[in-house]
């Protein structure tokens, strides 16, 4: 299942006996398991009797099975959540339980930072009897979309510039982005817009001295601005990691290289590459005036 589809089924209280939440990106695994935990019991007083939270390092397969096989007390279902399940020794031994689960128990396995081998009988049993959600690795070019989705979930709107500001400063850390946006709940009204000014004031990210503005200055060959921002970075090294700056520069020059080799020279093509609308003239001018293919190849070589 996809994330939105799974959340929709949970909102409708359509539970199955077994959920496997696995993959490289922990954010969505945490979001889903938290949603299940906080919405499973309509009567919170029943939670103490019918909910069991386990952690992988401290738990063996036989313990998971024992808790899962217990019957609910004064409720229709029990809930068992196993966090950090990748730490459970010989977790594949759960296969026998999965093939014949306790129908009045919902068992949620949170298997982070990697995925189970899909060829195994254990995985196939899970897929047959329950629901599998795979939280795949997030890439830089997907980050703006995820930021917009998180913002929408919190009933905010956000400008493209503000999205880029968060993406360039925080990077691919959806949990941190989620937490930072949570800080704005008492600042921004429902359906209000998160602007760069709000981010600068309440999250503490400079709208003038950030990685996004630095890359824009490089593409524009604005020498004064480049050195001004670099000077700011050098005074705040903990907030501006070199690896993040280099990877963002690489992404920008790779877009220029793609643009050079594309037959389509339209603004829509640059937008499809992930260039924000206000920077499209800048990129077109840079490709025409400053950065030939040979120069871009040399730059990418230096960045590598």
Residue 240, Ramachandran bin (φ over 0: left; ψ between -120 and 50: alpha; else beta): beta
Question: Contact at 8 Å (CB) between 117 and 89?
Answer: no
Q: Does the predicted model carry a pTM greater than 0.75?
A: no
Q: Which domains does the chain have, with CATH numbers?
A: 3-134 (3.40.50.300), 141-303 (no CATH)
Closest CA to 282 of 223, 209, 213, 219: 219
- According to the model, what pLDDT value does residue 95 have? 92
What does the pLDDT profile of the chain (304 residues) look like in tens digits?
889 999 999 999 999 999 999 999 999 999 999 999 999 998 888 999 999 999 999 999 999 999 999 999 999 999 999 999 999 999 999 999 999 999 999 999 999 999 998 988 889 988 888 999 999 998 877 888 999 999 999 999 998 888 888 887 787 889 989 998 998 988 899 999 998 888 888 887 777 788 888 999 999 999 999 998 998 888 878 777 888 889 889 999 999 999 999 999 888 888 888 887 778 899 999 999 999 999 999 999 999 9
SS3 162: helix
Q: What is the pLDDT of residue 178?
A: 94
Q: Compute how many other C-beta atoms are within 10 angstroms of the C-beta atom of residue 192.
A: 14
Distance of CA 200 to the CA centre of its chain: 22
Question: Which residue intervals of the chain are DSSP H helices?
Answer: 3-11, 26-39, 47-50, 61-69, 95-99, 121-129, 143-153, 160-170, 174-182, 196-198, 211-219, 223-235, 242-261, 267-272, 280-285, 293-303
Do residues 63 and 152 touch, judged by C-beta distance below 8 A?
Answer: no
């Amino acid at each position: 299942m996809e994330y939105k589809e799974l959340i929709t089924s949970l909102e409708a209280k359509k539970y199955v006996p077994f959920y496997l939440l696995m993959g490289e990106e922990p954010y969505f695994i945490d979001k889903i398991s938290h949603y299940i935990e906080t919405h499973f019991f309509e009567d919170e007083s029943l939670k103490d009797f019918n909910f069991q939270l386990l952690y992988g390092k401290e738990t063996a397969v036989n313990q998971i099975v024992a808790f899962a096989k217990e019957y609910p007390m004064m409720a229709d279902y029990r809930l068992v959540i196993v966090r950090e399940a990748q730490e459970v020794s010989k977790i594949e031994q759960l296969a026998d339980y999965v093939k014949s689960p306790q129908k009045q128990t919902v068992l949620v396995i949170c298997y982070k930072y990697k995925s189970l081998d899909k060829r195994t009988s254990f995985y196939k049993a899970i897929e047959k009897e329950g629901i599998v959600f795979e939280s795949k690795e997030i890439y830089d070019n997907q980050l703006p979309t995820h930021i917009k989705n998180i913002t929408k979930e919190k009933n905010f709107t956000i400008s493209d510039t503000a999205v880029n500001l968060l993406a360039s400063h925080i990077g691919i850390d959806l949990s941190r982005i989620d937490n930072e946006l949570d800080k704005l709940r008492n600042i921004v009204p429902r359906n209000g817009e998160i602007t760069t000014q709000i981010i600068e004031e309440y999250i503490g990210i400079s709208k003038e001295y950030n990685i996004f503005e630095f890359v824009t200055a490089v593409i524009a060959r604005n020498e004064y601005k480049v050195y001004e921002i670099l000077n700011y970075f050098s005074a705040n090294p903990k907030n501006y990691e070199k690896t993040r700056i280099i990877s963002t520069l690489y992404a920008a020059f790779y877009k220029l290289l793609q643009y050079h080799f594309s037959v389509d020279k339209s603004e829509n093509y640059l937008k499809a590459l992930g260039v924000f609308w206000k920077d499209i003239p800048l990129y077109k001018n840079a490709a025409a005036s400053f950065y030939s293919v040979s120069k871009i190849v040399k730059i990418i070589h230096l960045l590598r």
